[in-house]
Structure 1
Amino acid sequence: MNNIMDNIVVFIIIQTLIIATPMMITAVGACVCELTGVTNIGLEGIMLSGAFAAAVTNISLASV
């Protein structure tokens, strides 16, 4: 029973890291922009355009 719970916890941690990776990358980009003194208000748009490009690429290469 303990092994099953360990597997579930590991699965949840891995899925959380997979889902949160784009937000972590965006947060690092925002920190770099703030450290240089530039305020970047387009980070959400950059994430959205990246997600759109990834979806289009996935659809176009799915038949390969």
Structure 2
Amino acid sequence: MFDLILFAMFPGARMLLYAFPLIVVVSLVYGATRHELWPAILKHAWDTAVWILGFMGVVFVVILLAGWSL
């Protein structure tokens, strides 16, 4: 029930649900192409995921500020 209320309040939230698995998979694959040991892969995947989320956050803020005056 709470999920339905949350999705009603934020209609674009469903699109974010597709981003999280994609970020995890891209980060793991990118980390695995650079390293062979699991601890190194997971550390690189974490760093890559943080970088991707930060980049997406910056793009979100830029778009939000650009559309603020509309």
Deviation at 1:11, TM superposition (A): 1.1
The 1:53–1:59 alpha-carbon spacing in structure 2 relative to 1, beyond 3 Å, is same
TM-score (structure 2 length as normaliser): 0.48
Distance 1:19 1:46 in 2: 14
Deviation at 1:63, TM superposition (A): 2.1
Q: Percent identity?
A: 11
Structure 1 alignment gaps of length 5 or more:
1-7
The 1:13–1:21 alpha-carbon spacing in structure 2 relative to 1, beyond 3 Å, is farther
Structure 2 alignment gaps of length 5 or more:
35-40
Deviation at 1:31, TM superposition (A): 3.0
Larger of the two Rg values belongs to structure:
1
Distance 1:51 1:13 in 2: 21
The 1:26–1:12 alpha-carbon spacing in structure 2 relative to 1, beyond 3 Å, is farther
TM-score (structure 1 length as normaliser): 0.50
Deviation at 1:54, TM superposition (A): 0.9
Question: Is 2:54 the partner of 1:48?
Answer: yes
Residue correspondence of structure 1 range 1-64 to structure 2 within 5 A:
8=1, 11=4, 14=7, 17-18=14-15, 20-35=17-32, 37-38=33-34, 39=41, 40=44, 41-64=47-70
Deviation at 1:27, TM superposition (A): 0.4
Give the root-mean-square deviation of aligned CA atoms.
3.2
Match of 2:37 in 1: none
